[in-house]
Chain A
């Protein structure tokens, strides 16, 4: 817990809260100021918009601990505010609300527009309110209400204030810590031990939600590459982030793959079924895996076919996957494709080096891991791919 001092509606407040407590929960739960609403909790809907140092900010993605010394004004603190009073009357007149859930945030954003916009331009008002979602009104009444208040004020020669009154640089609410010094809250957290992959039972066939195709070439003949693809431990060693977690069996591989895209990291543990067809040098790996921390699951399938090209081999890959759970929410297919391309390039390079006997694959994989390349969906895909080739798990969170 951390002692937080700030001012809410011009009242000095000194309350302890966890660092992870967002400003909205802080003012709702600790101060009972429940006029501030939480909708999406990730900065999209605008219901939680409050004034922070006098200008609008999202209280759901602003942590209370980061607002040390700041001035917070909630909808309750705007009772006597003249602009908000005009807006309330206009909202009533224009039927600018129905259920009222968005209204506190809407009024805070509307007040900011009234102060800043030079004139009651409908387009500018709509753009200015685009960060506040209303599912009842269709916005027509809201836009009219804001327009009418701007018109009335400009008619009374009240000049706009394009900067909303802000004169200093940096994030609003920041940098006024009364402690004027380091403020550290230690939080020891146990490392969660990886789950056993053995909990995965049968590995069903499935229809992937996303299919990516990739190919790469290595300077070695198909027979040699195909033979190496049969050596699961060797393949795993070439895959950044992959590790095997159970003794090898001919048709079932258990392992983990750690994937990382920017700040997002997950470790998928799972099992995969391996099929090989020497007649046409093709193969298929079907896997299933889970990341416990993000409670995300993936099913994946990698099909490969080796084609002789000159003295070398082109490896054609078709990677299909389905990702469910939290990671799926950020699994933009394009990002996964970018990740897959980078991962496969690393894999191809490692494979080539290993086939040439020029490097210690273990060391290479560790280095690649440090590159931290992967993304959620990609990871899912990788998981499958790793699930098959599974790998080590160094640095897993």
Chain B
């Protein structure tokens, strides 16, 4: 229950951090709030030779609205979003997601970038930000690249980050005034990792719907054009048109073989749809 010995480095700026990662990326692990990595270190599931602490980097602890999007530095915490210390472009959607992540003591240190990099399929931002259509800027000493959230998580605890690369910023598009948002999750105990997550962004006037089925022990299912779940048409009556059988079929196709599990996921997704319509 005590970590194996590790070296520690706190670079002074992003460039220095990237330089360190470039040198030693094989044996180094980045730490931000440490709320996922800390337990793994303590359990000795992870034994890096060097820990690179990026929480001192002022560049990553910024948030600003740029035009139609919110740009969050990777080290912005869940509590920062919950408390409204960051601008809100989602009309409260992100604030409600943040407020229900783990526990307050965890939210005070846990960061958005850390949660996404860790890529636990059951983590909230992995699903919520995919539904909101967020994009990430990944940076290495070679430069920056943009990746859409739906392409970022590739499997359980596996994401698109390459060696020596870190998440720099999260770009969240403004939620249109006509877009409805619903987010539901199932946890057996408040604050624990979810067993099922449903996230929906539906715009009946634009006839569009983004749907995410998360916490399936693999990368979340992201459906950017979710008409099929609503009988082929998105309208004001989408709540009544939501077809649980289609959700079940999608889950089966994604490899969720247990019927009870599929039922839970489909029910949680339905709750999210109902919340959006409420």
Contacts and interface: CB of A to CB of B under 8 A. Distances in A.
Contacts of B102: 131
Contact of B8 (A49, A56, A128, A185): A185
Most buried by B among A41, A66, A166: A66
Contacts of A376: 45
B49 A173 contact: no
B79 to A, nearest CB: 7
Interface of A: 2, 18-20, 22, 25, 41-44, 46, 49, 52, 55-58, 60-63, 65-66, 68, 109, 112, 126-128, 130-132, 162-164, 166-175, 177, 180-187, 189, 261-265, 293-294, 326-327, 329-330, 332-335, 337-339, 341-342, 372-373, 375-376, 395, 397
Closest 10 CB pairs of A and B: A334-B217, A131-B103, A262-B157, A61-B38, A187-B7, A19-B8, A174-B55, A170-B61, A42-B39, A130-B190
B12 A189 contact: no
A20 B105 contact: no
A43 B8 contact: no
A112 B104 contact: yes
A264 B8 contact: no
Contacts of A162: 83
B1 A41 contact: yes
B196 to A, nearest CB: 11
A173 B62 CA distance: 16
Is the contact region of chain A dominated by helix, strand, or loop, or is it mixed?
loop
B143 interface: no
B2 to A, nearest CB: 7
Given A169-B62, A262-B158, A185 B7 contact: yes
Contacts of B216: 334
A327 B73 CA distance: 33
A211 B218 CA distance: 18
Contacts of A184: 7-10
SS class of chain B's interface: helix, strand, loop or mixed? loop
A241 to B, nearest CB: 14
Interface stretch (B27-35, B132-140, B232-240): B27-35
Interface string B139-169: 0000000000000000111100000000000
Nearest to A370: B163
Centre residue among A65, A167, A185 by max chain B CB count within 10 A: A185
B253 interface: no
A43 B106 contact: yes
Interface in B70-98: 73, 75-77, 79-80, 83-86
Contacts of B86: 169
B263 interface: no
28 contacts: A49-B105, A55-B108, A57-B109, A58-B35, A61-B38, A63-B34, A66-B34, A109-B103, A127-B191, A162-B83, A166-B79, A166-B108, A169-B85, A171-B55, A171-B77, A172-B109, A174-B75, A184-B7, A187-B8, A262-B156, A263-B37, A263-B45, A326-B44, A329-B45, A341-B218, A376-B45, A395-B26, A397-B47
A262 B119 contact: yes
Nearest to A342: B155
Contacts of B6: 19-20, 187
Given A171-B108, A342-B155, A373-B155, A187 B5 contact: yes
